[in-house]
Each structure stands twice: as structure tokens, then as C-alpha cells.
A = this chain, B = another copy of it.
Amino acid sequence: MFFMWRSHLAKSLHQHRNQPEARFLQLATIGLDQRPRNRTVVFRGFLENSDRYRDCLKIVTDRRSQKTEQINANPWAEVNWYFTKTRSQFRILGKLILIDHEYPDLELQKARSDAWSSLSEPARVQFAWAHPREPRVSFPEVAPSTPEQPLESFCLLLLEPTEVDRLELRGTPQNRWLHLRDEQGNWTDREVNP
């Protein structure tokens, strides 16, 4: 059974199923200098076959990217996901779990391998590129990756939601809900002013 916000999100995703960019969302974290950082990432689905982590959004990232050290210092993040057709905004606040090649949990290490195998070859190859954000170098041809063995730079990133702020722009006035997760993992829904 889905919670209320998951049903609405599933509906928006379905209505945008022919627009790959509807799976792009904006992930905000806090830099070591206490300035916000905000980048577009790709939604890779939920960690469906897990009891403990079933509400977690899957994202992938390069261990050499700046967000790694940002997450280690402060795991809190807010995702903003806006859907143009339904005119729905989901703000999903939660803690990030960064699963790198040394992460000890076997279930999550398996999820990391699966996420790697699910990537396209052009997406996998990017994890063999030169160090991100350093002065530009020429990129030599790299050997094809193996779908079975993730490169060390490859990380699975999970966002475990604790609060969802949902705004529906359709209607005058607009409609807005707060969905809050308690300690037991149950969600409550509150209608608020837009």
C-alpha cells in the first residue's frame, strides 16, 4: 500500500511517462562553507523490494563529486520535483545515505550493484572519466565497463524522506499538503494554506 504522497507522485510520473526529463529533479545539500548547493539529478526509482528502505528515492553519484563530502558533513537534503503537465510540486526533505564501494550493509551493497547494472553503457562510462570539476583535460577512449562490477567511483545515493510538502498549482486558490513521517515510519497528512 502506498502512502498518500506516493500515490500522487506515481500519478504525476505516469502522466509524464513519455518525457524523460520529468525524472530530473533538483537536489539541495549544504556545502562545507554553509552555502546551499543545488544540482539536477536523475530519479532512478524507489528501493521497492526493501521493507526498511522502501520509501527511499534512488539517485546515483560519483564519489569524487563535491556532494560526497557535503553529505558526510550534513546528510540532510531537500529534493524539489516539479511536474509541468500536472503542475505539481513535491518538496521531499530527508536524510541521504551514500552507499560507496566500502559500505558495509549487504542489502544496500546489493542495491548498489543492481543500480550499476541498470545503467546504460554511456552512463556507466562517465564514472571512468577524469576528476569532475578539475581543470579540463582531454578524455581518452575508455574501455567498456562491466555491468557486473561497479567502478569504485560509483555510489548509490538514497534519500530517505521524513517530510513531503506537496503543492498543486491547479485551482484558485492552489492546494497544498504537508505529509509527515513519524518515528514508526507512518505518514500523516495535513492540509495547509498554499
Contact = CB atoms under 8 A, between A and B. Distances in A.
Interface of A: 21, 24, 26-30, 34-40, 74, 76-80, 82, 84, 89, 91, 93, 122, 126, 129-137, 139, 172-173, 176, 178, 190-194
Given A28-B28, A34-B76, A136-B192, A91 B129 contact: no
A173 B78 contact: no
- For this chain, the copies found in one complex come to 2
26 contacts: A24-B82, A26-B28, A28-B38, A28-B78, A30-B30, A30-B34, A30-B36, A34-B74, A34-B76, A35-B76, A36-B77, A38-B38, A38-B80, A39-B80, A39-B89, A129-B173, A129-B193, A132-B194, A133-B178, A133-B192, A134-B193, A135-B190, A135-B191, A135-B193, A136-B176, A139-B173
Interface class of chain A by DSSP: strand
Contacts of A38: 26-28, 38, 78-80, 91
A21 B84 contact: yes
A101 to B, nearest CB: 21
